[in-house]
Amino acid sequence: MSNGAVEDSERDLRIAQLTLQNELLRAQIQDLRDERESRGRKKTWLAWISERFPSFSTLLAIASFWSGFFQYNQNAEREFMKPWLETQRQTYAEALSAVSRTVYSATPEERKLAELEFWRLYQGKMILVETKPVSGSMKTFGKLLKKPAEEVLPDEWAASLRALASVMQQSLAETGQMTYQEFARNQFKYSRQ
């Protein structure tokens, strides 16, 4: 073989080696790029936890179920309370109207009818729906009614009426957030007197 042919052969071999090394380097570079890209992607906290704790997804499903169950119960309790709240609102409005007519009646007959209405509500419907603070304010107004009218100053009547209205308003707002059990605990217990 001539020197030129050997040189050509060596050069072809060297080109083949460089081509293989070049392809190997390209593959390594691509692997490094892929690795860098996979590290660069941020996993969600849920995926990260799920990889490390396989039972986490099961626990999450159970927690979601119980959360939904408790929310359903709370909503059902609120729905149960809606008619009760409406009855409370109506009864408070009737009682406040009777108190107002008692305080601001034009004639003694009108006042007497308003007082009878107050006592009818006080001894009847109010017992079912009033909270402890409302019961106290109703009792305070009842004590004023038991006094002779001339012994009670006009400002006392008006102050008692406004105090009762404020307590009723607060009671309605608080009762709207309560469950039935909470409401029952907040009622005055007449059987314990």
Per-residue pLDDT tens for 68-85? 877 777 777 777 778 888
Runs of H (alpha helix) within 41-179: 45-52, 56-104, 108-123, 125-129, 132-146, 154-175
What is the three-class DSSP state of 126? helix
pLDDT at 140 over 80: yes
Can you give the pTM of this predicted structure?
A: 0.59
For residues 104, 108, 109 and 111, what is the CA-based torsion angle, rounded to 10 degrees?
30
Which is more confident, 149 or 123?
123
pLDDT at 7 over 70: yes
User: Considering the chain, what percentage of its residues have pLDDT values greater than 90?
Assistant: 26
Q: What is the mean pLDDT of the chain?
A: 83
- Position 59 in a domain: no
Regarding whether 120 and 27 lie in a shared domain, the answer is no
Distance CA 135, CA 126 (A): 8
Per-residue pLDDT tens for 10-67? 888 888 888 888 888 888 888 888 777 776 666 677 676 666 666 766 777 787 878 8
Between vectors from CA 47 to CA 64 and to CA 54, what angle results, nearest 5°? 70
Residue entry with tokens 């009723």: 168
- Position 53 in a domain: no
Regarding whether 17 and 79 lie in a shared domain, the answer is no
- Position 74 in a domain: yes
Regarding whether 186 and 145 lie in a shared domain, the answer is yes
Regarding whether 160 and 82 lie in a shared domain, the answer is yes
Q: What is the pLDDT of residue 178?
A: 79
- Position 48 in a domain: no
